[in-house]
Each structure stands twice: as structure tokens, then as C-alpha cells.
């Protein structure tokens, strides 16, 4: 079935550093989304991407939809302690009405103050 591979699996960085993570798939997706999950909570949507090559920002977060539609990237600039959590990419499989999201295995981010 469809599978999304995220890298790196985990990152331990110093506060203030920039962070990059990516997500790749063997399948084409027409919509990519990035979620963040805090401990004990459900994932929360950060950014949604709808067009190949699209670059979208949300505050210090920037995500890009790869040209091949088989990958996506998430960058976090000037990391702060509250960025700690697990970041998931997700691709939409199926239509916008009846489709479902396929999730990667996550990138765990730890930030040292």
C-alpha cells in the first residue's frame, strides 16, 4: 500500500537553530499536509499544500510541495522550546470528499534551551 517515509527519525537541536525535515513517497499525492503532535494530544494541522512546487509559510514554518508530487519538505526557522514534538507528513489518497490521509512515521524534534 501507500507509504510515506520521513527523515530524519529524530533531531536534537539547540534553541535558535533552523530545522529541516522531509517526507518521500513512491506514490503521487495531490495534497500534502504537515501536522504536529504534542505529548498526550492528537495531531494538529500546521500547513496544507495543494500544488506541485508550492511553497507555503505559517509563521516560522515553511513547507514545500515537491515538483514530482512524491515528496514534501518542512522547515522551521529559529527554533524555540515549544517546537518540541512529533512532526508528521500526510498525503491525501483519494478525492477531497471521500479520501483519506496516509501518515508518515514522524520526526521527533527536541530543542535544548
Partner 1 sequence: EAGVAQSPRYKIIEKRQSVAFWCNPISGHATLYWYQQILGQGPKLLIQFQNNGVVDDSQLPKDRFSAERLKGVDSTLKIQPAKLEDSAVYLCASSLAVNYGYTFGSGTRLTVV
Rounded to the nearest angstrom, the gap between the alpha carbon of residue 64 and the centroid of all alpha carbons in its chain is 9
Assess 88 for contact with partner 1 (CB under 8 A): yes
Q: Which residues does residue 103 pair with via DSSP β-bridges, in sequence order? A: 90
Say whether residue 82 binds partner 1 (CB under 8 A).
Answer: no
3-state secondary structure of 77: coil
Give the interface size with partner 1 as a residue count (CB under 8 A). Answer: 28
Nearest to 81 by CA among 43, 40, 113, 33: 113
Which among 88, 93, 86 is positioned nearest to 108, based on CA atoms?
Answer: 86
Are the C-beta atoms of residues 89 and 29 closer than 8 Å to each other? no
Determine which residue in the list 28, 50, 68, 81 makes contact with partner 1, applying CB under 8 A: 50
Stretch that binds partner 1, among 29-37, 56-64, 67-75, 76-84 (CB under 8 A): 29-37
Q: Indicate whether 98 belongs to the interface with partner 1 (CB under 8 A).
A: yes
Q: Which residue, 45 or 80, has its beta carbon nearer to partner 1?
A: 45
Binding site for partner 1 (CB under 8 A): 4, 6, 31, 33, 35, 40-45, 48, 50, 88, 90, 92, 94, 96-106
Amino acid at each position: 500500500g501507500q507509504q510515506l517515509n520521513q527523515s530524519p527519525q529524530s533531531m536534537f537541536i539547540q534553541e535558535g537553530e533552523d530545522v529541516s525535515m522531509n517526507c518521500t513517497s513512491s506514490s503521487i499525492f495531490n495534497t500534502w499536509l504537515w501536522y504536529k503532535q504534542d505529548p498526550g494530544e492528537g495531531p494538529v494541522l500546521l500547513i496544507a499544500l495543494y500544488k506541485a512546487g508550492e511553497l507555503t509559510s505559517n509563521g516560522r514554518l515553511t513547507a514545500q510541495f515537491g515538483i514530482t508530487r512524491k515528496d514534501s519538505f518542512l522547515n522551521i526557522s529559529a527554533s524555540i522550546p515549544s517546537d518540541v514534538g512529533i512532526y508528521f507528513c500526510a498525503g491525501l489518497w483519494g478525492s477531497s470528499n471521500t479520501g483519506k490521509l496516509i501518515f508518515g512515521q514522524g520526526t521527533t524534534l527536541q530543542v535544548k534551551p
